[in-house]
Amino acid sequence: MNDPLCSDGPIWNVWLAAFHAPTLAIADELGVFAALHDHPATSQELADALHIEVRATESMLGLFAALDFLVRADDRFHLSDVARTYLLPTSDYYWGGFLHRIRTIPIDCTKLIDSLRRGQAAHDARVSSAWRAPQPPAAALVGFTHAMHAHSFALAARVVSRFGLAGTARFLDVAGGSGSYSIAAARAYPALRCSVLDLGPVCDVARTYTAKHGVDDRVDAIAGDMFADAWPTGYDRIFFSDIFHDWDDERCRVLAAHAFAALPFGGRVLVHEMILGDAKDGPLNAIAYSMVMVFVTEGRQRSAHELIELLESAGFIAPVLTMTAEGYALIELTKPSS
């Protein structure tokens, strides 16, 4: 038997990384970060306070220190800026809704294997199939919307200043969920009025967030099915964030055509997505995100060229691409006057 030709370190890395998200979700449920915010502690002290075993506590805290969620000083663990911003229930940017989803809806390899072998993975994907239903379960929509708010709000607050909305009067946020981008846009541009177009139960959630952040006088929510219902008009910008990646090309063309019809001449469509390179083998986060779409939707991540092509097929022209953050880009095109 010959020695291996190369290290199996990359496989070790993938396997061990698979435990990061579940551990974070468990720690959130146990109240680890809230406890350390009030009282930085040793592993033993935290285990005693939370009534959990010290063996597991020691491993969790060590992992979170390695991941930069905690800082160890004088044998006690303290929250890092990341943890204070995103892992405390009192924070506006708390990821708790998403971590709850990790706990309650684990990745199901068996289901995807079966769907792939039957050629039905896109049809069976839980998110897309729920949205295709005549009346998606309200509880599922509400839970998903809270999770996506946790996923999106901090990014929205960081990048919306790059959207070039100064001088824009009205902004339609299609399938805008909790209104995370509309809220961020309204806060950044005081003259802007925004509307979130989404299903009825989702709009109810959006209204709670717009009220919480004090923008409900400038951000409203319009109940409607973006595929089946007529879109409201009178908006000079129509926006999609993390929407095209949920759907196949045919449905994306439908969305692009609806946006084109709803906009006035000179109006612009904006698509915000994490984008792939043209070879579709990176960047790593973008292609990993595309694999997330395979597990849960009928869609995929696309290159900038592919997104532009989908929008140009509806009649839009003059594409402009702006990189924002975390591998996302804003792709903006214009409805011509003739």
Q: Are residues 241 and 316 in the same domain?
A: yes
In 3-state terms, the chain is what percent helix, strand and coil (to 5)?
50, 15, 35
Three-state secondary-structure class, residue 112:
helix
Identify the band that residue 129 occupies on the pLDDT scale cut at 50, 70 and 90.
low
The confidence score (pLDDT) of residue 133 equals 64
Alpha helices (H) in the chain, listed in sequence order:
9-17, 20-30, 32-38, 43-50, 54-66, 81-86, 96-104, 109-117, 121-124, 126-132, 138-159, 180-188, 200-212, 249-262, 284-296, 304-312
The Cα–Cα gap between 273 and 303 comes to 9
- The verdict on residue 116 lying in a domain is no
Per DSSP, what are the bridge partners of residue 77?
A: 41, 72
**What are the C-alpha distances in Å from 331 to residues 35, 212, 288?**
42, 30, 21
Number of structural domains found in the chain: 2
The confidence score (pLDDT) of residue 132 equals 64
Residue 16 Rama label (left phi>0; alpha psi -120 to 50; beta): alpha
CATH of the domain at 33: 1.10.10.10
Q: Are residues 168 and 273 in the same domain?
A: yes
Q: Of 69, 84, 99, which residue is a domain's last? A: 84
Q: Of 84, 102, 122, which residue is a domain's last? A: 84
Q: Which of 312, 311, 317, 307 is nearest to 337 (CA)?
A: 317
The answer, yes or no, to whether residue 140 has pLDDT greater than 90, is: no
Per DSSP, what are the bridge partners of residue 240?
A: 271
Q: What angle do CA 170, 161, 145 make, to 5 degrees?
A: 70
Q: Are residues 170 and 282 in the same domain?
A: yes
- The verdict on residue 108 lying in a domain is no
Identify the band that residue 286 occupies on the pLDDT scale cut at 50, 70 and 90.
very high
Provide mean pLDDT across the span 124-139. 73
- Provide the mean pLDDT of the chain: 96
The confidence score (pLDDT) of residue 35 equals 98
283 cis-preceded (ω within 30 degrees of 0): yes
CATH of the domain at 279: 3.40.50.150
First to last CA, the chain: 71
CA torsion angle 37 43 49 53 (round to 10): 140
Identify the band that residue 128 occupies on the pLDDT scale cut at 50, 70 and 90.
low
The confidence score (pLDDT) of residue 338 equals 74
Provide mean pLDDT across the span 235-252. 97
- The verdict on residue 33 lying in a domain is yes
- The verdict on residue 122 lying in a domain is no
At 333, list the tokens.
């095109």
At 7, list the tokens.
């290290």
- The verdict on residue 69 lying in a domain is yes
Please report where in the chains the tokens 């009178």 appear, as a residue: 234
Residues 6+ apart with CB under 8 A from 249: 310
Q: Are residues 47 and 184 in the same domain?
A: no
Q: Are residues 170 and 248 in the same domain?
A: yes
Residue 278 is given by DSSP the state T
HSE, CB side, 13 Å, CA atoms: give it for residue 88. Answer: 17
Q: Are residues 277 and 199 in the same domain?
A: yes
Query: Residue type for 113, please?
Result: I
The confidence score (pLDDT) of residue 193 equals 98
Q: Which of 194, 214, 188, 334 is nearest to 270 (CA)?
A: 334
Q: Are residues 303 and 161 in the same domain?
A: yes
Domain that holds residue 329: 151-334
Q: Are residues 225 and 306 in the same domain?
A: yes
- The verdict on residue 317 lying in a domain is yes
